[in-house]
Amino acid sequence: MSYRTEHQESVDNAAKFWADKASKLAWFKQPTQVLTEHQGQYQWFADGELNTSYLALDYHVEQGRGEQAALFYDSPVTGSKRCYSYRELRDEVAKFAGVLKAQGVGKGDRVVIYMPMVPEAAIAMLATARLGAIHSVVFGGFAPHELAVRIDDASPKVVVSASCGIEVNRIISYKPLLDSALEKASHQPERCIILQRPQHSASMVAGRDLDWHREMQQAAPAGPVAVKGTDPLYILYTSGTTGKPKGVVRDNGGHAVALHYSMQAIYNIKPGEVFWAASDVGWVVGHSYIVYAPLLAGCTTILYEGKPVFTPDAGAFWRVCAEYGVKAIFAAPTAFRAIRKEDPHAELMKQHDLSKLETIFMAGERLDPPTYHWACEVSGKPVIDHWWQTETGWAICANLAGIELLPAKAGSATRPVPGYNVQILNDEGQQVAANQQGNIAIQLPLPPGCLSTIWGNPDRFFAGYLSQFPGYYATGDGGYLDEDGYLFVMGRTDDVINVAGHRLSTGEMEEIIASHPAVAECCVIGLPDELKGQQPVGFVLLKNGVTTDAETVQQELVALVRQEIGAVACFKRALVVPRLPKTRSGKILRKLLRQIGEGENYQIPSTIDDPASLPELEALMKKHGLA
């Protein structure tokens, strides 16, 4: 099968293409409706019935994979390792589903999971899915305020958390963060189930908090509950342009079909082989490729509680690949930049047998050509950049290792994955010629597995994605297709930035900075960062009459953003400026600031209010290493 035939078929005959892929899964009731329209929106497999946890676990045990490793937990930060066979993982998941069920969790109820990278995080996700309930995992690096916002939006019956996480060698107490979030939230869950880790013990709130281990001892296992193809599996919050994160809703049916297909088509992984996504369960990559896809495909997945460097060194990734016989690894370019910085000649790689490793996949941010070339050179393996978003849940563009590997082009995520009809549109919604930059849009219908709505806010789904270009999903990314149909993603067209593979909203940071009593106006932009791709930088105008010195305000702002969003925001630079560049109508010229920061030649817009102030601003940015 050639790439061209597979993609053409998926676009020309989407329903037939996906019906065939769906038939490879063990539905409780095979769908007869493949692609339907409901209230102006496309749906996949609406009348099919399934259970994602059953497909990921029980099915494989029934097929004779019970003793095969399902999940390896490798934790250099605690010095521990554990292997779960499919049978053991199914039993743990069934037991924890019993724990949740005993607390009244059933179909459609929400469970928020705020946990570090421990197997219990995956167990909690799969147990929630087993009951037909909806999980919402919140990344551990988020501060209480962010957790509270998500708890209020998802209104969970139960929150599952842990006593602590470990960042290299620092213990992060999760439980006080959860307690503080619940003090801020209006919605209160009925129960919190807390995993007490040996590294740190959390204090419990009587009447509300339950101990994970104690509950597991007395739990009766719960079986998988049949849900409709369109019933939600999870909500995953992601940054938008405003302070309120968007709850991306993923259904059960399309998700299972798409991820199952992707393991073979994109990653070339067959049942029984080992696949490792070095991400975090709090991100979409972790949802799809640490937990669901490898298990749906009967593979072995790895849950790694560590970093690419310092746990203990820049050989960590290679050690894990060699130790578990990983066939394909998937990580963010920033992780490889961190490894290259510590071990530029990949000396540590040479200590490990990487003969089983066939392919290196990267995503989460643009794979810059120097990192691409370095990874190719030191590993001697194909390095595949693939582009996707929380919203899509799986790759939009990739080089399909399981179908046909096309010649790679540095800086490109190669070609659209089957199911995605990717087009470049100008601002008026017309397709542009090859090599011309524009808005990257996907012609509807989106393939299975992509978001079905925004939780509790269908209007935001239409307004944010479907209304800009009727008939298309607007990705929010800009770029171009070259003469061979290769996609080059050049960056976001909105106020979202990407820091160390993490998606962050500058709009949200601006809202927080503006809440400081000394601040009159501000803007936050992403400037280039060698390691993390981008770093957020705040430009701040103080109110008249403020007597606090600029340095103190800057420090307070850095602390404020860390307190409100969390360490993950990486907001380390705020600069008090005498004037912000603006148009005469008062709009802050963010692009101009970005151009100055990136050292680009810029044209002074004719609409600018005070061009004479620019040299002073540029000099100030230079003085502070921001230009």
* 502 contacts 508 by C-beta, under 8 angstroms: no
Q: Nearer Cβ to ligand COA, position 172 or 410? A: 172
- Among left, alpha and beta (phi > 0; psi -120 to 50; other), residue 566 is left
Pick one of ligand COA, ligand AMP, none as the site partner of residue 390 (Cβ within 5 to 8 A by kind). ligand AMP
Of 161 and 390, CB closest to ligand AMP? 390
Half-sphere exposure (CA, 13 Å, Cβ side) for 453?
Answer: 15
Report the partner that residue 338 touches, choosing among ligand AMP, ligand COA, none (CB closer than 5 to 8 A by kind): ligand COA
> Segment 399-428, which members bind ligand AMP (CB under 6 A)?
413
Nearer to ligand AMP, 284 or 357 (CB): 284
**SS3 state at 35:** strand
Query: Smallest distance, Å, CB 141 to ligand AMP?
Result: 13
Minimum CB distance to ligand AMP smaller for 499 or for 589: 499
Q: Which residues are bridge partners to 331 per DSSP?
A: 362
| Residue 364 contacts ligand AMP per CB under 6 A | yes
Residue 561 binding ligand COA, by CB under 6 A = no
* Window contacting ligand COA (CB under 6 A); options: 28-36, 64-72, 100-108, 305-313: 305-313
Residue 140 found at the interface with ligand COA (CB under 6 A) = yes
**Is residue 56 near ligand COA by the rule CB under 6 A?**
no
User: Cα angle vertex 324, ends 322, 328, to 5°?
Assistant: 75
Q: What CA–CA distance (Å, rounded) separates 266 from 129?
A: 25
CA 442-48-300 angle, to 5 degrees, is 75
State which H helix or E strand residue 416 sits in: strand 415-416
Letters for 466-505 (x = contact with ligand AMP by CB under 6 A, - = none) are: ----------xx-----------x--x-----x----x--
How far is the C-alpha of 514 from the C-alpha of 623, rounded, in Å?
Answer: 24
Site string for ligand COA, 502-541 (x = CB under 6 A): x---------------------------------------
Contacts of 464 (CB under 8 A, 6+ apart): 240, 246, 454, 474
Does the protein bind ligand AMP through residue 247 (CB under 6 A)? no
Backbone angles phi, psi at 513, to 5 degrees: -65, -40
Buried b (16+ CB within 10 A) or exposed e, 534-555: bbbbbbbbbeeeeeeeeeebbe
Q: Is 134 in the site for ligand AMP (CB under 6 A)?
A: no
320: helix, coil or strand? helix
d(CA 198, CA 221): 25
Q: What is the DSSP string of 288-307?
A: IIIIIHHHHTT-EEEEE-S-
Is 390 a residue that touches ligand AMP (CB under 6 A)?
A: yes
Considering only residues 338, 401, 403, 513, which one is a binding residue for ligand COA as defined by CB under 6 A? 338
**Residue 260 contact partner, candidates ligand COA, ligand AMP, none, CB within 5 to 8 A by sort of partner:** none
Q: Which of 567, 614, 620, 627 binds ligand COA (CB under 6 A)?
A: 567
Q: In what order do the strands lie in the sheet with 359-362?
A: 80-85, 69-75, 300-304, 274-277, 326-331, 359-362, 383-385
1 vs 7: CA distance, rounded Å: 10
- Per residue in 67-80, is it b (16+ CB within 10 Å) or e — as a string? ebbbbbbbbbbeee
Task: Examine residue 288 and tell whether it contacts ligand AMP (CB under 6 A).
Answer: no
Among 130, 386, 415, 532, contact with ligand AMP (rule: CB under 6 A): 386
- Minimum distance from CB of 168 to ligand AMP (Å)? 23
Residue 279: contacted member of ligand COA, ligand AMP, none (CB under 5 to 8 Å, by partner type) = ligand COA
Applying the rule CB under 6 A, the residues between 95 and 124 that interact with ligand COA are: 116
To the nearest whole angstrom, how small is the minimum distance from the Cβ of residue 527 to ligand COA? 15
Residue 193's binding partner, choosing from ligand COA, ligand AMP, none, with beta-carbon cut-off 5 to 8 A by kind? none
Q: Is 153 in the site for ligand AMP (CB under 6 A)?
A: no
Residue 524 is inside which H or E element, if any? strand 519-529
CB atoms within 10 A of CB 594: 16
Binding site for ligand COA (CB under 6 A): 116, 140-141, 165, 167, 172, 279, 283, 285, 307-309, 332, 334-335, 338, 363-364, 500-502, 567-568, 570
Binding site for ligand AMP (CB under 6 A): 238, 284, 363-367, 385-390, 413, 476-477, 489, 492, 498, 503
